[in-house]
Amino acid sequence: MIEAMKEIGEYALEKENKDLNEFVSILVENPASNETYKHVFCIKLVSCQNSFEFKEIEHQEYSKEKIVKYLYKRGSSNGPDITPTARITEIKKTFSNKIIGWFSKPLKEAKPILDDGEIQFLELLGKCIKENEEKIISDLEPKVNSVDAKENSILTLILEENDFTRYVGDLEVFRKILKNNGASKFYSKYDIISKSDDKVCSVCKTNKEVYGFVTPYEFYTVDKRGFVSGGFYQSKAWRNNPVCLECALKMTAGKEYIEKYMSFGFYGFNFLLIPKLLNNSKSEELFDIFEKFNEKKFAFNKEYNNFLQANENDILELLCEEDDYLNFNFQFYEKSNSAYRILLYIEDVLPSRLREIFKSKNVVDKRKIFSNYFSNDTEVKSIKFTLGNVRWFFPNTLDDPNLNKYFLEVTNGIFTGKSIDYNFLLKYIMQRIRKDFRNESSIRYSLFLGFQLLDFLLQLRLLGNYRGGKCVNSKNLSALLGDMTPKENSGYEERTNVIFSEFEHFFNTDAKKAIFLEGILVQYLLNIQKFQRGSAPFRTKLRGLNLDERYMKRIFPEIINKLEEYDANYYKELEYLISKYMIQSGTDWKMSNDEISFYFVLGMNLSNLLKSPKSEKEIEND
């Protein structure tokens, strides 16, 4: 990640026309923070032997080409900046705080790095400005006030010597101060200095002066002595993570670019999407994608497939179209005050992996059962797979703090190709379905999201410990999920054989077939009760959808008995098939309660796929 951050920083600096081999060019900021800054007022001083004289206030037009000459670097909001160049707010206040103020505190702090000649030069410069304070203000005010009130101005110094004019950025002493200010945060902390000369930089692998406190993100810290290996000396922290000034500045620029263009929200988390280029010739093309996406300059068509979230445009859809000249690193994190904690770091995800993910998503999205999740004469609603399916079963809740961790683990498995345990998923899918059932809410939505999630993971071959096979054949599964229409006049046995023969991996045991069909039968009973009584009391017999082998066998005759009581047992062939598969399944189904419950609920909610041939009695009731 560090090398990727450095490369991104190099791109960002080059885009700003900064010289990567010149520290001052990297450190300096543009004093014109927006287009309203059009004027530069220069306090012109003339060199006279061992002193300076104030000559005039020179009004210039702002020039982007002179950014390095202005040598602006923002400092304290109420105190001086890093150099005696400032943005004008109130004229007197700016002159007092930013110019005169600079020749007190910043100069005092810089003295340890200056030689005697440089100190004397700055003291004489400051003396001249202080002695001419009233004259400078009286000349400055009318000129600043004469410009358009909607336009902003900059205040700086220029020196004239032998008809040659030099700006702040032309004077080595100010460049030296700026460089030291930019570097000091990388080697000076906790009242400790940690740096060393002629050591190998851990980033660029060349011998340079290296620093010990280069921490782009707060997860690396040596604020406690015990965090420093090799003797617990904070002054030796450079041994842990030696980084030269050039790499530190590039990494800082990279961090700023990443946080601006590569930072995204994700179901209560934040994450950074950091590309690592394997072919730098395409860097501009790649970064252009991030910049346009961030600025909402892409026009997304109606076919656009969201994956990260359902209701937002998705950067991954764009990036998956790239060739494998790069890979992506995902850094999920949380930030609280000054604490920065990485929750999940996913490395080396290739665009081809993203394409596999979207290919599987497209297969699942096109299933008829999902694309026609709800339909009537006026509208059709579909369920599209996103990581929201996963979040639905692993919500952010105080009831179980581990759910956030599990959600990220499943996300990690999807991106990296790591197997995800089938029984683990079923546990939480059924947990959500049972909650809906207890609350007397529809379980259909949760069931379909869970079914779609399992289908998606099967397409990616990620469902571990799935006894139905490593992967459900997509041709077979497509029939169950919408492409198969049983013959209207066929009997139950023929219709179920079509389903089970087509999906031998999914219904690979007689027990699963029996459970699925029993779920269908129960749904038919509930429909009849609802039609005849206006309620479905048998619903209370389903034990909150926490079912096991023993109860499935026990409840079966009760279902038949209830249908007989309502004089509505039109399903004798279906009951025969359930009996047949139960006998053939024997005992000890080797299925968890969650798996039994899931197949049962699946049958309930897919009962329309196996609609029975209507008897005369049923037609009369209709």
Q: Of 225-239, 409-423, 434-448, 604-618, where does mean pLDDT reach its minimum?
A: 604-618
For residues 269 and 334, the answer to whether their CB atoms sit within 8 Å is: yes
Taking the CA of residue 63 as centre, how many other CA atoms within 13 Å lie in the half-sphere pointing to its CB? 8
User: In angstroms, rounded to a whole number, what is the distance separating the alpha carbons of residues 91 and 222?
Assistant: 43
Q: Is the pLDDT of residue 76 over 90?
A: no
Residue 478's pLDDT is 41
Residue 116, token pair as written in the block: 């005697």
Read off φ and ψ for residue 567, nearest 5 degrees: 50, 45
Residue 603 CA from chain centroid, whole number: 37
Taking the CA of residue 294 as centre, how many other CA atoms within 13 Å lie in the half-sphere pointing to its CB? 16
Q: Who wins on pLDDT, 58 or 294?
A: 58
pLDDT in tens, 552-566: 999 999 999 999 998
Residue 37: pLDDT band (50, 70, 90) is very high
Q: Sheet holding 263-266: strands in order across?
A: 263-266, 269-277, 326-336, 339-349
User: In angstroms, rounded to a whole number, what is the distance separating the alpha carbons of residues 102 and 264?
Assistant: 40
Of 116, 101, 155, 124, nearest in space to 53 by CA: 124
pLDDT in tens, 241-266: 899 999 999 999 999 999 999 998 88
Percent of the chain with pLDDT over 90: 46
For residues 72 and 28, the answer to whether their CB atoms sit within 8 Å is: yes
Mean pLDDT of the chain: 84
User: In angstroms, rounded to a whole number, what is the distance separating the alpha carbons of residues 82 and 27?
Assistant: 11
Average pLDDT over residues 288-292: 89
Residue 314, token pair as written in the block: 């998705």
Q: If DSSP codes are grouped into helix, strand and coil, which group holds residue 427?
A: helix
Q: If DSSP codes are grouped into helix, strand and coil, which group holds residue 74?
A: coil
Q: Is the pLDDT of residue 169 over 90?
A: yes
Amino acid identity of residue 349, one-letter, is V
- The most distant pair of C-alpha atoms in the chain lies apart, rounded to whole Å, by 119
Q: Of 129-133, 268-272, 393-397, 427-431, where does mean pLDDT reach its minimum?
A: 268-272
Q: Who wins on pLDDT, 526 or 277?
A: 526
Q: Is the pLDDT of residue 129 over 90?
A: yes
Residue 620's pLDDT is 47
DSSP state of 29: B
**E strand or H helix at 87:** strand 86-87
pLDDT in tens, 171-186: 999 999 999 888 888 8
Residue 206's pLDDT is 92
Residue 483's pLDDT is 43
User: In angstroms, rounded to a whole number, what is the distance separating the alpha carbons of residues 18 and 200?
Assistant: 25
What residue has token string 């460089």?
179
Average pLDDT over residues 44-53: 89
Strand stretches in 15-63, DSSP E: 37-48, 51-61
Beta-strand pair 420-421/380-381: unpaired
| Secondary structure of 517-568 in HEC code, one letter for each residue | HHHHHHHHHHHHHHHHHCCCHHHHHHHHHCCCHHHHHHHHHHHHHHHHHCCC
Average pLDDT over residues 300-328: 76
Bridge partners, 330 (sequence order): 273, 346
Q: If DSSP codes are grouped into helix, strand and coil, which group holds residue 8?
A: helix
Average pLDDT over residues 333-362: 87
Domain locations in the chain as residue ranges: 2-25+190-257, 31-179, 262-428, 484-621
For residues 519 and 444, the answer to whether their CB atoms sit within 8 Å is: no
Residue 225's pLDDT is 62
User: In angstroms, rounded to a whole number, what is the distance separating the alpha carbons of residues 463 and 468?
Assistant: 10
Of 125, 107, 110, 117, nearest in space to 161 by CA: 125
Q: Is the pLDDT of residue 481 over 50?
A: no
Residue 365 CA from chain centroid, whole number: 23
Q: What is the DSSP string of 363-378?
A: HHHT-HHHHTSEE-SS
pLDDT in tens, 509-545: 889 999 999 999 999 999 999 888 888 899 999 999 9
User: In angstroms, rounded to a whole number, what is the distance separating the alpha carbons of residues 519 and 598?
Assistant: 10
Contact partners, residue 388, CB within 8 Å, separation at least 6: 267, 309, 310
C-alpha pair distances (Å), 271 with each of 1, 221, 343, 419: 14, 21, 9, 23
Query: Length of the chain, please?
Result: 622
Q: Of 101-115, 153-167, 190-204, where does mean pLDDT reach its minimum?
A: 101-115
User: In angstroms, rounded to a whole number, what is the distance separating the alpha carbons of residues 232 and 517?
Assistant: 68
Contact partners, residue 225, CB within 8 Å, separation at least 6: 232, 233, 234
pLDDT in tens, 81-105: 999 999 999 999 999 999 999 988 7
Percent of the chain with pLDDT over 70: 86
Torsion of CA 158, 161, 164, 169, to 10 degrees: -40
For residues 154 and 70, the answer to whether their CB atoms sit within 8 Å is: yes
Q: Who wins on pLDDT, 289 or 614?
A: 289
Residue 298: pLDDT band (50, 70, 90) is low
Of 402, 267, 395, nearest in space to 334 by CA: 267
Residue 70's pLDDT is 95
For residues 308 and 270, the answer to whether their CB atoms sit within 8 Å is: no
For residues 327 and 350, the answer to whether their CB atoms sit within 8 Å is: yes
Q: If DSSP codes are grouped into helix, strand and coil, which group holds residue 205?
A: coil
